[in-house]
Amino acid sequence: MEFLLQPLTLVTFFPLLGVLVLLFLPSENKNLLRWTAMITSLLTFGISLWVLGMFTASNPDLQLVAKYDWITVAGWNIQYHMGVDGLSILLVLLTAFLTPISILSTWTAVEERVKDFMIFFLLLEVGMTGVFLAHDLFLFYVFWEFTLVPMYFLIGIWGGPRRIYAAIKFFLYTMAGSILMLLAILWLGIQGGTFSVPELISAGGIPSTIQFWLFLAFTAAFAIKVPMWPLHSWLPDAHVEAPTAGSVILAGVLLKMGTYGFLRFNIPLFPQAALQLAPWIALFATIGILYGAAVSYAQADVKKLVAYSSVSHLGFVMLGMFALNSQGMQGAILQMVNHGLSTGALFLLVGMIYEQTHTREIKVYGGLWKITPILCSMMLIVSLSSMGLPGLNGFVGEFTILLGAWGAGTAGGAFESFGGVWWAALSALGVIMAAIYILYMFQKMFLGPEGSIVAEVKNHGHALRDLNWREIVTIVPILVFIFWIGLYPKPFFDLMGPSVDNLVAALQTAALAMP
Amino acid sequence: MTQVDFYVLLPLILLVAWACVLLLVDLFIPKQRKWLTALLAALGLALTLGFTLSQLGLENTGFKSMVVVDGFSVFVNALLLLSGLLGVALAYGYVKRMGLERGEYYTLMLFSISGMMLMAQAADLITVFLALELLSLPLYVLSAFARPKADSEEAGLKYFLLGAFSSGFVLYGIALVYGATGATSLTGIVAAASAGTSSLLLTIGAALILVGLGFKVAAVPFHMWTPDVYQGAPTAVTAFMAAGAKIAGFAALLRVFATAFPSLAVDMAPVLWAISALTMIIGNLIAISQSDIKRMLAYSSIAHAGYILMAFVPYGNPEVAPVSIAAGLFYLVAYVLTSFGAWGVVIALEQKEGRGLAISNYAGLGKKYPALAAAMTVFMLSLIGFPPTLGLVGKFYLFRAVLSGGYVGLAFIGVVTSLISAYYYLRVVVTMYMHEGEPETEREFWLGLTTAGTALVTVIVSLMPQGLFAWASEAVLKLF
């Protein structure tokens, strides 16, 4: 049982302790339930900081490895294998950081079945952290599929009017991708005699035609999760119907599981296929950037607008990653974190308004700045961060990605056919479009003449109020990071640098071996 | 009868004797105390289970090679006896509540189980047929046990007529095999076949046996009886039948084909491939449109027969077959546990006159009875093949075996149909948690224990499957 005391086991499974406590608490005492979940998630965040403290940034390999035999009979070779490196450390921290914030945001928003809500939320945290830390394909698959279950309940029970449709669509869509990945995982396990990812990578030697198919099978799972255009149609439904905290986690962490999957499995396991298919992924990513931005602009529902903006932002992440050079990948990882922070905060703020007005239609809003100045100034910062204003986090990520994409296929790139300049130029258009739809949303909702909703809320007997202390405390930690990454991103890049360089070097070796 | 004969069949003899005595003893148990009969039946099953487990590691034949005991038979018998115990636990409160409390119920169950056990130990086609009849006849009666309810009588009659028909197929198949090889013992057949008498007659005979056993395990296209019988029979009987008859059918199929017909693998593999694929596709597709939980689970049980059949497709390939059959056995365990649990929940919600059986009756269960709903969620996830349940581990094992055998297409059909199945299993979850309603349930100790127990085991064993894996792969070692 010594494996229970491994730092990575603790950070993953600690929320289960909270679940266990919650099970035995009375469901009437809602604040007790909330505090239990809150403290559990804060302690988990504490453990994640402890993990960060033990993490050596200059070491590109897996660290704090916990490796135990799990199922080793009958030709099986499955291990409990957890480890953290530069590719995953930030995402683990992001998960542990966003979970307490989301729980705090539900304080008054979730009044029904609080106990079940908190249990599902903590279970979700276990699944997400596990996904980022697992290095055995079977273990990874278990965590990966497991995240679906609590999220499905969160959307389906506490969601909006079309929640059931959205929940089932989310579940089936994601599962459709995963089952193809399952076949690919099994194939790898049979051929390699192990499910351990590092061992499979170092063994290598998968013929390039088979790499191609396996790459596609993994892509099916990850591209749906990201979601990449044209597989994104579940996302707006899930986002719009999910409760605020669900949207935050969905945008903030769950989508990153897809991009992380590409980085962790697709690229290192099938480097030749990755090199071969990178232009195609870049094409779809660029289409996603432009399409997402254009469709965002057309939305009448603010949550849908933010949802489509995610399609656009994650297009950047994919583009940077498949530039397959150090800048692109580092930008991609940072942008994953950025998107988690900015879009998470956007959903939180939208949720805080929605809690008072119960409508998400942009056109009924207007002139809120005078009534709710704190909310609006925070919204402004987050919006500017989301559209990539220099000095805030979004800019750093997008700029690095565009640099990476520009350089792909030229001297520093791992291969020739990418045509990076064109993709960079096209997707830079996406940055401009982001400015348009976000400023448009901001202007309609918070500036100009007073919208009809202000009067309507008054008719119901209470005026719109500004953020209270709890809500401010929810947002401020995110704002801190928005500025920190925007002004001084070096520590973040330092964390991931060595691991990314390692991966790029491996790719270059693979490129040389290509026929 | 020598001592060896006796010891080979010891558990079976004990169970049959126990059943006969129970039949007599039951006469003297007053109507208010029928719980005593249930208790005695459970005791008999538990004792037999003990004797069965004492046979672990034993390899022997008895009665002039008519029956055999080996790792495989012990594994299957243990699983059958476990199903028997679960079946008694589910039936105990149910028969009382539905006014079906008659002592024969448990005796018939014991007789049926002894038939199933004989099936797992059969080493001769004649024994297979004998076992088939011994397991089926009590099941026909049990299906009609809720007489004079028309549904139940219809179920009994339908099962009997179609079952008799399928027995005919098996018997005719045996006759043809005998004609081709001059032997009915499995070893005799394989010896004759390898001596070069592999003929069309033998192939046809084997195919007819496949038809008959395919009927017992409810494989498409021999599944037509399943939904009606499962729906009409008293639910406790259905739960037992869905597990027991399937285990026994697969055990016989496996034993007969792996031992006697390895030479036919080239001809049989495509047939098994097609049956398995069709069973998965049709079972899952039709289940989508069901609104009655019993019918839905009936189609789900058809679909799962398809998954288990996947494991049989590479039975002629000596490199893959042991892994694949072990995977089949493991999946069988996963299915039996999950299915008993799910039927347990169905029984908890069933009211008199067949009320409470629509899926819509499950609305609001998550709010009102969170533990029951959580258990049902575990079962549904396990049937889909989702973590953290035994269903996922089982499917992982199964698909891996099928892929190792080179049947990528079949594995693909398997995963796609799993996806389809997610839709209708999730509908139960949706109804329980996301619709408002006032469900009525029956609280009963043994039923609760069975449901909670199977749910816990489904989760826990999925996290620690090592032991079961090892046992399953050891059980099939000597078959090949």
Tell me if chain B has a CB within 8 Å of the CB of A87. Answer: no
Burial B194-208 (b: 16+ CB within 10 A, else e): eeeebeebbbbbbbb
pLDDT at position A91: 93
Residue A76 pLDDT more than 70?
yes
Within-domain flag for B258: no
In a shared domain, residues A402 and A476: yes
C-alpha to C-alpha distance for A475 and A349, rounded to whole angstroms: 8
Question: How many structural domains compose chain B?
Answer: 2
C-alpha to C-alpha distance for B54 and A386, rounded to whole angstroms: 68
Residue identified by tokens 């013992």 is B185
In a shared domain, residues A392 and A247: no
Using only C-alpha atoms, chain B has a radius of gyration, in whole angstroms, of 21
Tell me what the mean pLDDT of segment B112-125 comes to: 93
Out of B408, B412, B419, whose CB is closest to A172?
B419
Closest CA to B242 of B354, B358, B159: B159
For A78, the 3-state DSSP assignment is strand
Residue B73 pLDDT more than 50?
yes
Tell me if chain B has a CB within 8 Å of the CB of A189. Answer: yes
C-alpha to C-alpha distance for A444 and A432, rounded to whole angstroms: 18
Please tell me the number of Cα atoms within 13 Å of B24 on its side-chain side: 5
C-alpha to C-alpha distance for A307 and A232, rounded to whole angstroms: 10
Tell me if chain B has a CB within 8 Å of the CB of A23. Answer: no
In a shared domain, residues B247 and B272: no
Looking at chain B from residue 386 to 405, which residues have their Cβ under 8 Å from any Cβ of chain A? 386-388, 392, 396, 399-400, 403-404
C-alpha to C-alpha distance for A315 and A307, rounded to whole angstroms: 13
**Which residue range is the domain that position A31 belongs to?**
1-269
pLDDT at position A93: 93
C-alpha to C-alpha distance for A319 and A329, rounded to whole angstroms: 9
User: Does the distance separating the beta carbons of B469 and A73 come in below 8 Å?
Assistant: yes
Structure tokens at B132: 């088939």
Phi, psi of B185 (to 5 degrees): -75, 145
Q: Which of A198-202, A468-472, A480-484, B98-102 holds the top average pLDDT? A: A480-484
CB-based burial of residue B242 (10 Å sphere; 0-12 exposed, 13-18 middle, 19+ buried)? Answer: buried
C-alpha to C-alpha distance for A340 and B380, rounded to whole angstroms: 33
H helix or E strand, kind and range, residue B222: none
Looking at chain B from residue 423 to 442, which residues have their Cβ under 8 Å from any Cβ of chain A? 423, 426, 430, 433-434
In a shared domain, residues B241 and B295: no
A352-398 pLDDT tens trace: 888 888 888 888 888 788 888 888 899 999 999 988 888 888 889 88
Please tell me the number of Cα atoms within 13 Å of B56 on its side-chain side: 9
B7-49 pLDDT tens trace: 888 999 999 999 999 999 988 888 888 888 999 999 999 999 9
Tell me if chain B has a CB within 8 Å of the CB of A216. Answer: no
pLDDT at position B263: 82
A270-323 pLDDT tens trace: 888 888 888 888 889 989 999 999 998 888 888 889 899 999 999 999 988 888
ipTM of the complex: 0.90
Residue A412 pLDDT more than 50?
no
C-alpha to C-alpha distance for B29 and B23, rounded to whole angstroms: 10
In a shared domain, residues B91 and B143: yes
Tell me if chain B has a CB within 8 Å of the CB of A16. Answer: no
Cβ–Cβ < 8 Å for A63, A198: no
A205-222 pLDDT tens trace: 788 888 889 999 999 999
**Distance from the first to the final alpha carbon of chain B:** 28
In a shared domain, residues A264 and A301: no
Cβ–Cβ < 8 Å for A251, A310: yes
Q: Rounded to the nearest 10 degrees, how much is the dihedral formed by the CA atoms of B457, B460, B465, B470? A: -50
CB-based contacts of A432, cutoff 8 Å, min separation 6:
none
Cβ atoms within 10 Å of B453's Cβ, excluding its own: 17
Report percent pLDDT > 90 for chain A: 31
Closest CA to B395 of B421, B424, B370, B371: B421
In a shared domain, residues A258 and A275: no
C-alpha to C-alpha distance for B358 and A471, rounded to whole angstroms: 45
In a shared domain, residues B346 and B469: yes
Min mean pLDDT across A2-11, A93-102, A137-146, A221-230 is at: A2-11
In a shared domain, residues A2 and A46: yes
Cβ atoms within 10 Å of B30's Cβ, excluding its own: 7
In a shared domain, residues B270 and B243: no
In a shared domain, residues A227 and A343: no
Listed in sequence order, the DSSP H helices in B55-124 are: 71-97, 104-121
B252-294 pLDDT tens trace: 998 898 888 888 888 888 999 999 999 999 999 999 999 999 9
Within-domain flag for B171: no
Closest CA to B450 of B23, B29, B34, B93: B93
Output the CA–CA distances (angstroms, integers) from residue B298 to B157, B219, B423, in the order listed.
18, 12, 16
A330-349 pLDDT tens trace: 999 999 999 999 999 999 99
In a shared domain, residues A76 and A223: yes
Output the CA–CA distances (angstroms, integers) from residue A327 to A285, A321, A355, A417, A486, in the order listed.
17, 9, 41, 18, 17
Cβ–Cβ < 8 Å for A445, A365: yes
Tell me what the mean pLDDT of segment B199-217 comes to: 90
Confidence of residue A410 (pLDDT cuts 50, 70, 90): low
A78-127 pLDDT tens trace: 889 999 988 899 999 999 999 999 999 888 888 888 888 999 999 999 99
The whole-chain average pLDDT of chain A stands at 87
Bridge partners for A196 per DSSP: A136
C-alpha to C-alpha distance for B111 and B141, rounded to whole angstroms: 11
C-alpha to C-alpha distance for B4 and B380, rounded to whole angstroms: 45
In a shared domain, residues B440 and B413: yes
H helix or E strand, kind and range, residue B67: strand B67-69
**Which residue range is the domain that position B135 belongs to?**
1-163+221-253
Q: Long-range pairs for A478-481 at CB < 8 Å and ≥24 separation?
A: A478/A101, A478/A341, A478/A344, A478/A345, A478/A348, A478/A382, A479/A345, A479/A378, A479/A381, A479/A382, A481/A341, A481/A393
Q: For strand A63-71 and strand A78-84, is the pairing parallel, antiparallel, or unpaired?
A: antiparallel
Out of A138, A164, A179, whose CB is closest to B419?
A179
C-alpha to C-alpha distance for A62 and A84, rounded to whole angstroms: 5
Q: What is the DSSP string of B243-256?
A: HHHHHHHHHHHHHI
- Interface mutation target, options A3, A120, A143, A183, chain B, most CBs of B under 10 Å: A183
Question: How many structural domains compose chain A?
Answer: 2
In a shared domain, residues B93 and B123: yes
In a shared domain, residues B80 and B225: yes
Is the bond preceding A227 in cis, omega lying within 30 degrees of 0?
yes
Is the bond preceding B221 in cis, omega lying within 30 degrees of 0?
yes
Interior angle at CA A148, CA A6 and CA A186, nearest 5? 75
Out of A163, A172, A182, whose CB is closest to B422?
A172
In a shared domain, residues A106 and A153: yes
H helix or E strand, kind and range, residue B338: helix B321-349
In a shared domain, residues B427 and B407: yes
Residue A182 pLDDT more than 80?
yes
Out of A220, A235, A269, pick the residue that ends a domain: A269
Tell me if chain A has a CB within 8 Å of the CB of B95. Answer: no
Q: What DSSP state is assigned to residue B359? A: G
B456-480 pLDDT tens trace: 999 999 888 888 888 888 888 777 6
Which chain A residues are Cβ-neighbours of B370 within 8 angstroms?
116
Tell me if chain B has a CB within 8 Å of the CB of A176. Answer: yes
C-alpha to C-alpha distance for A22 and B56, rounded to whole angstroms: 43
In a shared domain, residues B339 and B459: yes
B52-69 pLDDT tens trace: 999 888 888 888 888 999
For A68, the 3-state DSSP assignment is strand
C-alpha to C-alpha distance for A51 and A129, rounded to whole angstroms: 13
Closest CA to B328 of B412, B253, B394, B403: B394
Minimal C-alpha gap between A6 and chain B (Å): 18
Tell me what the mean pLDDT of segment B413-425 comes to: 92
C-alpha to C-alpha distance for B235 and A442, rounded to whole angstroms: 60
B80-89 pLDDT tens trace: 999 999 999 9
Please tell me the number of Cα atoms within 13 Å of B205 on its side-chain side: 26
In a shared domain, residues A254 and A280: no
pLDDT at position A413: 45
Structure tokens at A160: 């909006």
Cβ–Cβ < 8 Å for A340, A253: yes
In a shared domain, residues A230 and A371: no
Closest CA to B273 of B406, B136, B88, B108: B406
In a shared domain, residues A119 and A98: yes
Which chain A residues are Cβ-neighbours of B412 within 8 angstroms?
183
Bridge partners for B62 per DSSP: B67
Within-domain flag for B174: no
Q: Rounded to the nearest 10 degrees, how much is the dihedral formed by the CA atoms of B363, B364, B365, B371? A: 150
Out of A269, A297, A313, pick the residue that ends a domain: A269
pLDDT at position A411: 42
In a shared domain, residues B227 and B290: no
Please tell me the number of Cα atoms within 13 Å of A362 on its side-chain side: 22
In a shared domain, residues B4 and B125: yes
Out of B204, B229, B253, pick the residue that ends a domain: B253
B142-197 pLDDT tens trace: 999 888 888 889 999 999 999 998 999 999 999 999 988 888 888 888 888 777 65
CB-based contacts of B14, cutoff 8 Å, min separation 6:
B44, B47, B48, B51
Burial B306-332 (b: 16+ CB within 10 A, else e): bbbbbbbbbbbbeebbbbbbbbbbbbb
In chain B, what is the greatest distance between 2 CA atoms, to the nearest angstrom? 68
In a shared domain, residues A309 and A264: no
Out of A238, A269, A300, pick the residue that ends a domain: A269
User: Does the distance separating the beta carbons of A168 and B403 come in below 8 Å?
Assistant: no
User: Does the distance separating the beta carbons of B434 and A171 come in below 8 Å?
Assistant: no
Minimal C-alpha gap between A127 and chain B (Å): 11
Of how many residues is chain A composed?
515
C-alpha to C-alpha distance for B352 and B330, rounded to whole angstroms: 36
